[in-house]
Amino acid sequence: MSSETQQSVELQRSVRIGRLLIVGAIAGAVVGALVTTLYKVPEGALYSIGQIAGFMLIIGGAVGLTLGGLLALILTAAAKRKRGTAVLEHTVVVDEGLEPAADEAASTDEAAAGTVTDVPAEQPSDSGSAEKTEEERG
């Protein structure tokens, strides 16, 4: 016995905001670290190239995170414009009997296999004939 219902649903695309934020932060951090290599540290400075790289990594990550968030907002607004409708079919199947246990299923598989293996396999006596007909098997 089964029952079937149909329902109209509205489909809407969505943007993975978390992924865009992570990619933006990583890309900004990498760009910030690469910008560090463009400048030289003057002699007698109170800071090292490692400190500059770390600082630029943090600043680049923050800028990339912000740009990723803005991109996510823009893509979300564009995705909301593309909506569609679909028909949802929901089928509920109720089985009044129980499914066969694993032991019963194995015995039915063996019985089905037994019908195939009960036929005796005869080998042809001469190598020239590929198979015998039913009359030859007798």
| Per-residue pLDDT tens listing for the chain (138 residues) | 677 888 888 887 888 999 999 999 999 999 999 998 888 888 888 888 888 899 999 999 999 999 999 999 999 988 888 778 888 888 888 776 655 555 544 544 444 444 343 434 444 444 444 445 545 555
Distance CA 77, CA 15 (A): 9
Write down the residue that tokens 């679909």 correspond to: 86
CA 74 vs CA 20, 65, 103: distances in Å: 12, 14, 59
CA 20 vs CA 28, 45, 58, 71, 83: distances in Å: 12, 38, 18, 8, 22
Angle, to 10 degrees, between the axis of helix 17-36 and the axis of helix 49-81? 150
